[in-house]
Amino acid sequence: MIDTHYDLLSIAYIAHLKNDYSYLEQISQYFNEKNVTGVIANLYFMSEKEMIEELHPNYYNKDVSVCRMFKIAKEILDTYLPNVDILYSIEGADYIRGCKELQELYQEGLDALILCWNTKSKYASGNRSSEGLTEAGKILLNCAIDLGLGIDLSHANKHTFYDMVEVIKTAQKEGKDVCAYASHSNSRTLCSRDRNLDDDQLEKIKEINGLVGVFSNKNFIVDKLERESMTSKELYQKYLEHIDHIGNIIDFSNVMCATDDMDFCKEADYEYGEVAIYNYSSIAHTLMSQLKGKYGETIAYKIIYENANKLFNKIRKQRKKTERKDVSL
């Protein structure tokens, strides 16, 4: 399986701050046992207050650049997951100081970017706000496209989402091969959370040849009142409905799977460790079996592995092109 969203770089950086790598040791063992062959690993930024409360008091330090944080976390993750194919991403670009630092991050190994988290930032606005891309955001997004970074549309509110799509479309018309996707987003038609994508947004993703990682967080699979009385089997069925709905709009060759595993945050809020309806073991067996029964083995394998692998290869191909061109921003 390839997991298209897991905040592993943040986990690695917190391990560095605590000088405690036991959780990474558990993850390494679990990845090996459950045949997790690839993952999009995120370095995760929120507001400074939220980072202090939910991650670590020293997680974000103005005296330590994002680039330095990324380098430390990546080196740790490379050590603990040497046999896993990893795409390195940043979720929440607000602390990146501009295109120059973005290029430095790219040179250190950054592969993809989520411009915003839930709140408003200097570049874009997430689902807890209503503004769109700022002028600085348009500049940074175009820099990311020129570098060949994957452009992750998850967390953007509708205004930001449509602004980003227009920038991507313009770049594509100019002949740029933009790798666009939503790493962990479900259907708003089936679950009315503002983090999910409505059908028109899914159509726009189809127009830019993007992909969607359907993620196994029950809070984004079914509305709260309904899920309180649901069994695990019923939740599984709802997750399959999201895959079906999204696949019928964007095509099943562009549907992937994500866990957005939040177990590492349960010390801050126990519910974070209780939101996933699938873990890696049940994805490998239960979900795979369910997908085979519904779509056949070929499509099931695409959803679990092949489509994400296609995205990985496309972003890596873009990196090689950029390195040959020696892009300077």
Extract the residue ranges of the chain whose pLDDT is less than 50: 265, 268-272
- Residue 210 has a pLDDT of 98
pLDDT of residue 180: 98
pTM of the model: 0.94
CA atoms within 13 A on the CB side of 144: 29
- For 64-89, the DSSP string reads S-HHHHHHHHHHHHHHH-TTSEEEEE
Question: What is the per-residue pLDDT for 270?
Answer: 43
d(CA 122, CA 128): 15
Cα separation of 150 and 322, whole Å? Answer: 13
| pLDDT given for residue 303 in this prediction | 97
Output the pLDDT for position 282. Answer: 86
Residues making up the chain, counted from first to last:
329
Contacts of 36 (CB under 8 A, 6+ apart): 1, 2, 3, 30, 84, 280
Amino acid at 97: R
Handedness of CA 81, 87, 93, 98 (dihedral sign): positive
Classify the C-alpha dihedral 247-303-235-10 as positive or negative: negative
Name the residue range of residue 154's domain: 2-325
Conformational region of residue 179, where left means phi above 0, alpha means psi within -120 to 50, and beta covers everything else:
beta
CATH code of 118's domain: 3.20.20.140
**In which element (H, E) is residue 3 found?**
strand 2-6
Model pLDDT, residue 327: 56
| pLDDT tens for each residue of 98-143 | 999 999 999 999 999 999 998 888 999 888 888 999 999 999 999 9
pLDDT at 225: 79
* Count of structural domains, the chain: 1
